[in-house]
Structure 1
């Protein structure tokens, strides 16, 4: 099943997309929030039971509605750096022996098609297509990847937009280059593990592509990750509690401007992202 939030910013409708129908979930939940994701039985079971009972109306003209982030404001956004071998190589970094962890301001999360703003003073605003993990149940001290996987509600596309001068040349604090306004388009859907499996897809082997002004810049696969999604959840749970609705961005493949020499983003550029089984994003770049 796929979950989404449709409508104007701040007034989105929680929906499920199942068997080609867009179902209004407001009789079940006010939003796609941590509380809904952690519900018992799980959100899939809740939706199927309510649908069978005829309690979920179909959303009219859903295709015409704005697509918001598929998760209401997460408690935290945790990011993994240099998690693809080719990306580490293009930036001249050593292959990490443990995940490189940094945090991103949750207020950066926007819809998948919302405008991304180049910050004031920016000269090096960059793109990063990433597989995002959304946590479904509280995770502490997971003992194995199998245990960690039980805490994953689903997956989405994230664009980990980054200002490289702020990140690398202004005191060496990555968070400064990652937490500018609008720097985390997310969605369009939260796709559950069971939905990926039903489509014959594996989160450890999804293709990822990103284009800028129609030119292919990133063309990778999650099979090239150094640390797999479930291992990332297991690892992070040793250092912090992961709560329902938290988002984890798992790193980006080669092809970012920082390593490839491509021009950095400017107002008027268009960025398009696609990920196998997870849908697509399209952002126009503006100026703060």
Structure 2
């Protein structure tokens, strides 16, 4: 199973590269005009720019040239700033990773706590309340949650900044302050869905015979739930978590732009506006690689949580 996942990376990246390549060729923005700031360039300069960057070559030639560069670990050079795309990614990616991991941490903590409480108090008022809240969280998009949090906690209460980024190296408290609202906005929909999955898995486990036997043997409920039930119940949510991590990576694009965070998202949107196909392709390929690697890690955790599947890998 793991080997299959690794091998699937190759056709996935080729497909992603082809999709982004075709989409960017239909984009209304001309990278030559963007590079020369529109009307400030003559037609001869625009044609020379297109020739130098291979934009006049047939599409198949351009695509296979990009694939050949990608196979050598070269993401190409930005058409606008003439900076290696790999260098831009190396600068922007750490912030996106920080935002994604912080959002993931918040989502896991909230979903496990709420899911366990909801299952233990099944069909009572804590369960009913949590189910209503999580239903609203699943339906609410991250950008809408972000707007509410900014209006309430940033503009209204003044507890957090409305935008901007402070590096962790400069100030950890400043970094945490600038990343809290974006991370919470990103985490809430994921936490809501995971809570519902964990509750369902916990309820199924709590109804099994070994739980009744353990309780009948005098084991405290905290021990039964924490040592046995929770571990067995997390197998299914692990699979869902792997899929939702893709949402976190994709959602970071919008959230970074809303909070003016200089990560992959803001750079990608600017690259799309500029028609800089090299940057867009590099960013999307990087996110695709991250998505596959994250799912590989989830598969490993799934095997650890369910050893019976190891014989089938």
Q: TM-score, normalising length from structure 1?
A: 0.22
- Greater RCO, 1 or 2 (C-alpha within 8 Å, sep 6+): 2
Rg (Cα) greater in structure: 2
- Which of the two has greater helix per residue? 2
TM-score scaled by structure 2? 0.21
More strand by share: 1
